Amino acid sequence: MPEDIAPPVPDAKRKAAPPPRWPVLIGSAVAIVAIALWAIFAPVHAGEVIGVMVGWIATNFGWYFVLTAAVVVVFILIVAFSSVGRTKLGPDHSKPQFSMFTWASMLFAAGIGIDLMFFAVSEPAAQYMAPPTGEGETIAAARQAIVWTFFHYGPVGWAMYALMGAAFAYFAYRLNKPLTIRSVLSPIFGRFTNGWVGHGVDIFTVLGTVFGIATTLGIGVVQLSYGMHVLFGTPDGVAMQIALIVLAVAMATISTVSGVEKGIRRLSEANVILAIALLLWITITGQTRRILDGLVMNIGDFVATFPSLLMETFAWSRPDDWMQGWTLFFWAWWVAWAPFVGLFLARISRGRTLREFIVGVLVIPFAFIAIFVSIFGNSALEIILGGDTAFAEAAVATPERAFFDLLQQYPAAPVVLGVALLTGLLFYVTSADSGALVLANLTSKMEDPQQDAGKLQRVFWAVATGLLTLGMLLVGGVPTLQAATLIIGLPVSLLLYLVMISLYRSLQAEKKRREGYLAAIPGRFGPTQTNWRQRLKRSTTYPTRDQVITYLDTVAAPALKDVTDELCEAGVKASVERIEIESLSMPSLMLTVHFDDGEDFTYQLYPVTHELPAYAYLSVSDAAVYFRLEVFSAIGSRGYDVYNYTTDQLITDVLSSYESHLEYLRLTADVAEPVFTEALPIITDWQDDFIDPATEANGSASAESGESPAKESP
């Protein structure tokens, strides 16, 4: 099986941080700092303005948020289970970078933070006391309370994450484009994404991301402040919240500058382990039978009612305050977080298929969320149904206290509270550090999908996010953060539709690429493959390094040169180059045909090392490994070996691949054209004033420095 065998990149290239994208960095930073200072120094005015805006949005655009959520769910399921779901987020030969457990831990901990601890107890209590329809404080309300919490934390939000993550990863690792939102939208806006159109999209993305993160951090701050008060007797107020923000920013800075593979990865794994420990303790020391019965019942109720809940707008009953405070807030919150979490998920998901990625993102985190919410939510409802109305009223009035108040009802409360406080702090820091990393990447000129932004930018965004969180808390606490998220979620939601259009068009082109490749397969060998002894010899040969080098020098290189010369004589811009692979001490040959108005054609012969199989005992080679000379295109290894092809056979294979590429270009002629090509020329002159020549050059060069096996490491 082909391996993800790209050799190491020189240290200078790997360690060099991309430069800032100054229009995006300055524009978003100015807006965020201005809003934060406005909230800090004019909290009354800020609160009034936010209140008016959120009321208008909730009244006029509630249906829009509900419809958008449903469209995203349907679209992402179609992508996953259609034929394009087999497409890899990377070259065809690539393998996942992280193990399944590590990947699941990171995507869960980055996508859901301390807010899960906040709402796992408070929302079931609130839905039980005051459901959107029907009578509260009944058994029916208790069953539906957990279902509503599942719904708000369930597949809808994760479908938004999956959409953005799949788009980011596909364009970055499959098409060798920078890991940016403007790359995702290039099929729609074309070259206009390199100028003010791209800058504007990036700025809106950054603003939505910052407000989404600030909401989570604000929720975390008030909850951790109360937890410190319960455990250590410290004052629970603004002073403690400010201290926690400073502490979290410091820890996030240390974590985020250490990178994905170290800080964020380890914190994510620790989060999951500690959260599981809390779940087990509550299950074992509580009413185990009722907890497990409730878990099964809740999952069944949710599966049965999810389709109807997905499009529920309460057109007749009109619980407007409830919709604004719950469903609309959650959908706007998920929308705001989608670019952030999507980019982070893409960063850790190279090598997985679209289907594996989407199903994993939809199922793995929600499975844990369902268990967490059911166990803690039903435990809280049991206390309330047992007659503790004070606990219920406190959970509704001061939701940040509900989780820690619940834990005090169980044995070894001080120890459990300590574990919960540590878990919440790690959840908080994980959201902050991964957020700082993604924000820094969004405001940088990301040419290489494997790069991360510079440390100073990460530190800046950790501080800026903390400042915005403080400002919103001073205005009115968590409700103001929720309101601000609903406001910013409206314009950011338009990105979801643009991304769906862009991803659909690109996946249609992907299908055409496959069709073009398959159309040329019958002619791969043609009449040249006639000697059965030669075919048998190829099947029983396990070549050494020297044999492969000799073949490349004596057969492959002259064959590719002949093809190149013939193409050049026909007026085609073609070239062939010999690329030394330092890690293997071997060469690779790559033929490139350049197209001015289409994707370049590449045909690369790349040696792939394998262990000598046990059934190769008849081989005359004493080496422990052998080499396959595989054909690589722009999307990775084709999976077959051309070693010992004759000159005619190799040339026939090159021409077959070239013809399939031409067929692909023909089939995608109407797909690849940017959507707004005809609508935007009237502003071409303005656009040219904003295009960074270096950015435009880097866009075309990224394919060369992207996933070609000889030029980038996995």
Residue by residue, DSSP assigns 489-530 as HHHHHHHHHHHHHHHHHHHHHHHHHHHHHHHTGGGTTGGG--
Choosing from 656, 671, 686, the residue where a domain stops is 671
Q: 627 pairs with which residues across the strands? A: 609
From first CA to last CA, the distance across the chain in angstroms is 16
Residues of the domain holding 494: 11-505
Is 231 part of a structural domain of the chain?
A: yes
CATH number for position 483: 1.20.1740
Give the amino acid at 709. Answer: P
Give yes or no: residues 491 and 543 share one domain: no
485 and 543 part of one domain: no
Neighbouring residues of 316: CB distance < 8 A, sequence distance ≥ 6: none
| Domain co-membership, 495 together with 620 | no
Please give the Cα distance from 72 to 159 (Å, whole number): 7
Backbone angles phi, psi at 37, to 5 degrees: -65, -40
112 lies in the same domain as 177: yes
Same-domain status, 452 and 539: no
In a domain, 19, yes or no: yes
pLDDT at 557: 95
Show the tokens assigned to 88.
């890899």
Whole-model pTM: value is 0.81
Least Cα distance to 114 among 483, 367, 478, 392 occurs for: 478
- Counting beta carbons within 10 angstroms of the beta carbon of residue 86, is it exposed (0 to 12), middle (13 to 18) or buried (19 or more)? exposed
Q: Which residues contact 70 (CB under 8 A, 6 or more apart)?
A: 310, 311
Tokens of 393: 């009223």
**CA separation, residue 202 to residues 27, 198, 334 (Å):** 10, 6, 18
Q: Do 543 and 499 sit in the same domain of this protein?
A: no
| Stretches in the chain below the pLDDT threshold 50 | 1-14, 260, 523, 525-528, 620-621, 677-714
User: How remote is the C-alpha of 652 from its chain's centroid?
Assistant: 40
State CA 386 to chain mean position distance.
43
Q: Which amino acid is at 425?
A: L
Residues 495 and 589 in one domain: no
> Whole-angstrom Cα distance, residue 200 to residue 198?
5
Residue 277: Cβ within 10 Å count: 14
Question: What is the number of domains present in the chain?
Answer: 2
What pLDDT does residue 697 have? 40
> Is residue 294 assigned to a domain?
yes
601 strand-pairing partners: 593
| Same domain (yes/no): 309, 380 | yes
Residue with tokens 């959107």: 132
In a domain, 685, yes or no: no
Please tell me the distance from the alpha carbon of residue 266 to that of residue 430, in angstroms, as a whole number: 10
What does 153-182 look like in DSSP terms, one character per residue? HSHHHHHHHHHHHHHHHIIIIIS---SSHH
- In terms of DSSP bridges, do strands 636-641 and 625-633 run parallel, antiparallel, or are they unpaired? antiparallel
| 22: CB partners within 8 A, 6+ apart | none
Phi first, then psi: give them for residue 641, nearest 5 degrees.
Answer: -110, 130
Residue 422, pLDDT score: 87
Q: Which amino acid does the sequence have at 41?
A: F
Residue 706 lies in a domain: no
**Same domain membership, residue 577 and residue 472:** no
What pLDDT shows up at residue 177? 86
Q: According to the 3-state scheme, what is the secondary structure of 648-693? A: HHHHHHHHHHHHHHHHHHHHCCCCCCCCCCCCCHHHHHHHHHHCCH
Residues 541 and 576 in one domain: yes
Specify if 359 maps to a domain.
yes
Closest CA to 100 of 364, 484, 446: 364
Is residue 678 situated within a structural domain? no
Distance, CA of 552 to CA of 190 (rounded, Å): 39
Q: What is the pLDDT of residues 150-184, one digit of tens each?
A: 999 999 999 999 999 999 999 988 888 888 899 99
Same domain, 524 and 481: no
Are residues 222 and 473 in contact, defined by beta-carbon separation less than 8 angstroms?
A: yes
Distance between CA atoms of 32 and 49, rounded to whole angstroms? Answer: 16
Instruction: Please tell me the distance from the alpha carbon of residue 170 to that of residue 348, in angstroms, as a whole number.
Output: 12
Q: Is residue 539 part of a domain?
A: yes
Q: What are the C-alpha distances in Å from 387 to residues 380, 393, 403, 540?
A: 11, 12, 18, 78
In this structure, the answer to whether residues 491 and 435 fall within a common structural domain is yes
- Classify residue 571 by burial, with Cβ atoms within 10 Å: 0-12, 13-18, 19+: exposed
H or E element at residue 579: strand 573-581
